[in-house]
A and B are shown apart, each in its own frame.
Chain A
């Protein structure tokens, strides 16, 4: 009973804080714009790089996987790989970005009051925008280097790397990933204020995490007894699998609504817990940084 009340008040507190942050939505906008602008500030092509950069990256992988390392099991392996790598890159850059978001803004935290949670949030959003901007390049490479066994890209009997109605899942999936990354970012950003070792550990952890996520393989290949366990413990595994179901596997393995719902709820819980943790710790940010 008391536990119920506790959670009720925590939730109320959380929503009140979140509502206050909405008043600062223009700060979020400005922080995101700042991140995006500063990234390509001195380059000749400027913001155009946001589109060109993923195109070049994908060109490299496409060349490598279609000409050098051909994979017989997966036709158009470059799409198999890229559909998972792009959200992973978003995840990895968000993790490193959110990790330092509070510590590196000490000059602000100590001088101005504003909802501190916007700092990690802005990191995730600006990386999300970079992800979304890389999607046109992904579609471009889905057209190129098609093989006969994959089928025609728009036809109903397309097997691999197709564009079809499954794409409607994409916005919800992106929101799910934002929730997960923000929740995780809250934990890491707050923890890093008190224990600077966090950043070193996370560097190593990211490498391990990359291999624990089905990016260069798919979970079926692992032949593990409980694949569900991997999905539960690693939300990125679930998220990446859904991306791949949208962009690459387009037959029977289309996104499973139950799987999607479970992932969404899990990421929602991570967000709420991360926010609670962040709120608790953010009280002393002003003096600890």
Chain B
């Protein structure tokens, strides 16, 4: 299953090599507003989805005019009543264009990813495709049976059993009872809930509900499958299973529209990617190319943000809270030491015991920065090149033998590793004041994508968590020029050999 998908991906990579390759993080034509359209030369058959000059506007009601009173007020053109002569601010109904003049066609059997930041119009375009919303202008035409995985388990009634819900949900997707009856066993097997099928849904675990929802949605034989961030939930094994099944459907010729922030999943599933930004179409073309351009753009924005932060902060590091003196004095008094003792001597009476010696916030991780081989702070790195993750700490209190640790995560939330100084046999005698600890990877084995970092600081025994910041920051990995491997998460240095008998 998976290797087949990878083979077609490899084919795509060859195609990509001929096209322009984003070697530099800075790309022209990537800025929103200029839409570069890359037309790939694959064989096209029948148009199944066509957006022509589609615009969708939402009106953000601050005060929703949802009552007859408001209606009457609007009817007679009356203003909102004023209080004590001061006119109340008019309820501002802001317009918000979720999509603007979007044109694209999707052909039968294509797998198209839609990417973009939050609020870029991805979900709106899916809802237009599924006829949940209608455009304000332009035309949306969709041919064939659409099954939308907008939210798993939608339409399940908690009081009804799994069996009853399968039929109810199937008919919501437009299937007759007879058609559902013939798919019933497949659905139950896929969802792995045969033992609970006659139990009301409300007694199911959320995982079971999701599995059942997914199983129903994919088994209605859609011509077009719309998925919106479906795989953001559920355990890993289930995510894998869903992705595999979507790949199977793709090979069967089902048109798939895949909206996700998980760029690695988009890359492995889709040949073509549409990039939306603030309701406009920025790029539409081969998956690898568009995703790389998107990452480059994201990266540029990230760098600009870093610069802005850097400028707004005179010192590179956030300063320690100024109250350094006061708590130490109190503490020394509490310890029964000489009251005149200066703050610098305060370390003397304590190391009061392993775990409870540190009040929360006394010792903290103040930030994480990423640095390239020359020590420059950066947000984008390349496969097989070095990266240093710098953990900045501020210890108002002395900590003996601290242990620093971190963990890298993919966008899906899969943990990649979890090293710490103690496991590495690297001992830090003590920390006090501010400083930083570098975790350096000499050759980054990660492929293109965004990776998140979690950091932790514990005492010597690793049982007392002094600070823990989950998914505190992220960095982007871009493909190194010349490295052809694209599929999956990691680059494993390896070689092939051929031995005919």
Chain A residues with CB under 8 Å of chain B are 23-27, 29-31, 33-34, 37-38, 41, 107-114, 194-197, 201, 283-284, 286-287
Task: List 5 A-B pairs, Cβ < 8 Å.
Answer: A30-B167, A37-B159, A111-B150, A112-B172, A195-B71
B496 in the interface (beta carbon within 8 A): no
Q: How far is the CB of B328 from chain A (nearest CB, A)?
A: 56
Q: A41-B159, A108-B154, A286-B132 are in contact. Are A195 and B68 (CB under 8 A)?
A: yes
Contacts of A112 in B (CB 8 A): 130, 132, 148, 150, 154-155, 172-173
Q: A34-B164, A194-B66, A196-B66 are in contact. Are A109 and B171 (CB under 8 A)?
A: no
Interface contact B159-A286, CB-CB below 8 Å? no
Interface contact A34-B130, CB-CB below 8 Å? no
Contacts of B175 in A (CB 8 A): 26
Interface contact A37-B164, CB-CB below 8 Å? yes
Interface contact A108-B174, CB-CB below 8 Å? no
Among all A-B residue pairs, the 8 with the closest Cβ atoms = A27-B171, A111-B154, A113-B131, A286-B132, A26-B171, A30-B168, A286-B133, A30-B171
A83 to B2, CA, bound (A): 67
Interface contact A197-B68, CB-CB below 8 Å? yes
Q: How many residues of B contact A (CB 8 A)?
A: 31
Contacts of A29 in B (CB 8 A): 171, 177
B176 in the interface (beta carbon within 8 A): yes
Interface residues of B in 101-160 (CB under 8 A from A): 127, 130-134, 146, 148, 150-151, 154-155, 157, 159-160
Q: Which secondary structure dominates where chain B touches chain A?
A: loop
Interface contact B177-A111, CB-CB below 8 Å? no
- B216-234 CB mask vs A (1 if < 8 Å, else 0) is 0000000000000000000
A283 to B134, CA, bound (A): 6
Interface residues of B in 326-343 (CB under 8 A from A): none
A150 to B132, CA, bound (A): 58
Contacts of B168 in A (CB 8 A): 30-31, 34
Contacts of B127 in A (CB 8 A): 286
Contacts of A31 in B (CB 8 A): 168
Q: How far is the CB of A262 from chain B (nearest CB, A)?
A: 33
Contacts of B150 in A (CB 8 A): 111-112
In the complex, the chain A residue whose C-beta lies closest to that of B127 is A286
B58 in the interface (beta carbon within 8 A): yes
Interface contact A108-B172, CB-CB below 8 Å? yes
Given contacts A111-B150, A114-B173, 13 further A-B contacts (CB under 8 A): A26-B177, A29-B171, A34-B164, A34-B168, A37-B160, A107-B154, A108-B155, A111-B151, A112-B173, A196-B67, A197-B66, A201-B68, A286-B133
Interface contact B134-A284, CB-CB below 8 Å? yes
A27 to B69, CA, bound (A): 37
Contacts of A113 in B (CB 8 A): 130-132, 146, 148
Contacts of A287 in B (CB 8 A): 58, 133
Interface contact A114-B174, CB-CB below 8 Å? yes
Interface contact A197-B67, CB-CB below 8 Å? yes
- B49-84 CB mask vs A (1 if < 8 Å, else 0) is 000000000100000001111010000000000000
Question: Given A114, A194, A196, which contacts B172 in the complex, CB threshold below 8 Å?
Answer: A114
Interface contact B174-A111, CB-CB below 8 Å? no
Interface contact B172-A27, CB-CB below 8 Å? yes
Contacts of A114 in B (CB 8 A): 172-174
A197 to B160, CA, bound (A): 31
Most buried by B among A107, A112, A283: A112
Q: How far is the CB of B438 from chain A (nearest CB, A)?
A: 47
Interface contact B132-A110, CB-CB below 8 Å? yes
A258 to B58, CA, bound (A): 51
Interface contact A109-B174, CB-CB below 8 Å? no
A25 to B179, CA, bound (A): 13
A196 to B69, CA, bound (A): 11
A252 to B60, CA, bound (A): 62
Contacts of A33 in B (CB 8 A): 164
A284 to B136, CA, bound (A): 10
A194 to B64, CA, bound (A): 10
Contacts of A195 in B (CB 8 A): 66-68, 71
A1 to B185, CA, bound (A): 57
Contacts of A34 in B (CB 8 A): 157, 160, 164, 168
Q: How far is the CB of A120 from chain B (nearest CB, A)?
A: 16
Q: How far is the CB of A106 from chain B (nearest CB, A)?
A: 11
